[in-house]
Amino acid sequence: MVTSLPVIDVGPLVRGGTDGDAAAVARAIDAACRDNGFFYVVGHGVDPALQARLEDLARQFFALDDDEKSAIAMVHAGRAWRGWFPVGGEVTSGIPDLKEGLYFGAERPPDGRPLHGPNLFPARPAGLRDAVLDYLAAMTRLGHALVGGMALGLGLDRDWFDRHLTADPLILFRIFHYPPEPAGSGGKAQPDRPREGWGVGEHTDYGLLTILRQDQTGGLEVRARDGWRDAPPIPDSFVCNLGDMLERMTAGRYRSTPHRVRNTSGVGRLSFPFFFDPAWDADVRPVPGVGDGQAVGDDASDRWDGMSVHRFEGTYGDYLLGKVSKVFPDLGARVLE
């Protein structure tokens, strides 16, 4: 596949080489973050066999009927915010998405905080639990390596993020299944019904870094400075994009770029976004010396929920709760009060 987005070999970061070895990678990441806020990574070290096993098991799960899948519906997880939701169960830009999904996170005992706690795993397929937990561990290691490269690109110490924000990162992982676009829909949406055509509408991510595995179906589009660009699947790569908190921390030097998904393939599409985000109680502020003197425009008018990332004050947990309560309004009203 050919893409206009940069493809970066992050092997020197993953292998833990010296800062000198990682410098060229850091410069490439910095340029991509300044320009598009989207880039591909190869040389990431995540086992292809693990990725293939996870995809196969996910397809088996989504092939089950909804009654069986609902045994692990998100409402059963309460404040931990884990489990399955049906097509139309998640809302973007005020319109239900044409996708279903599984929500996972770091496996923890309940501690009273929203979005923390044990995962819900289905009885079938039996291997999904182990595959998800192995994948979470591998992707968490990759997340630490990548933010180390971002720190170097920003002129910070390589361990800056881990010392200030991600020593105990908020780890969230989703598996989404996008049914094919209904025939003749033309991408139109109807009130109170899942959007037709767009599996998920234009949106930005919330935290620091999203690391996405997508199957071979395609459908991801990125709103670059010069218009919408395709982000097709490239073998043994991940697509990385930046979240709102990184844009805030860099005063807009790094971009939290809007993106969307439309599945016109005629078959179901799977995607596996992994979110590597600040700690729940991290107070996210602009980084001194990064973006100083840079003018920050009115970003609220360009966001579907009208929330400015640059005017936000508080912890990452505060910001995230404000977002998820809009994405799952009914569930949020029941379990996050």
Does residue 262 surpass a pLDDT of 50?
A: yes
- Residue 298: how many other CB atoms lie within 10 Å: 9
Q: What whole-number distance in Å separates Cα of residue 97 and Cα of residue 184? A: 17
Q: Residue 108: phi, psi to the nearest 5?
A: -140, 155
155-168 pLDDT, tens digit per residue, is 999 999 999 999 99
In degrees, rounded to 5, the angle at the alpha carbon of residue 94 between the alpha carbons of residues 90 and 98 is: 40
CA distances (Å), origin 245, targets 29, 136, 145, 315? 17, 21, 18, 10
Residues 6+ apart with CB under 8 A from 128: 57, 58, 60, 61, 121, 122
70-81 pLDDT, tens digit per residue, is 999 999 999 899
pLDDT classification of 4: cutoffs 50, 70, 90: confident
29-72 pLDDT, tens digit per residue, is 999 999 989 999 999 999 999 999 999 999 999 999 999 999 99
Amino acid 297: pLDDT: 60
Amino acid 183: pLDDT: 55
Does residue 312 surpass a pLDDT of 60?
A: yes
pLDDT classification of 294: cutoffs 50, 70, 90: low
Which tokens sit at 96? 């239900």
Which tokens sit at 73? 């519906």
Largest CA distance in the chain: 55
Amino acid 20: pLDDT: 81
Mean pLDDT of 312-324: 89
The crossing angle, in degrees rounded to 10, of helices 128-153 and 19-35 is 90
When comparing pLDDT for 168 and 323, which is higher?
A: 168
pLDDT classification of 244: cutoffs 50, 70, 90: very high
Sign of dihedral through CA atoms 214, 215, 216, 220?
Answer: negative
User: Euclidean distance between the first and final Cα of the chain, in Å?
Assistant: 46
182-223 pLDDT, tens digit per residue, is 655 544 444 444 455 578 888 899 999 999 999 999 999 999
**Domains located in the chain, CATH noted:** 7-335 (2.60.120.330)
Report the range out of 35-39, 298-302, 308-312 with the highest average pLDDT: 35-39
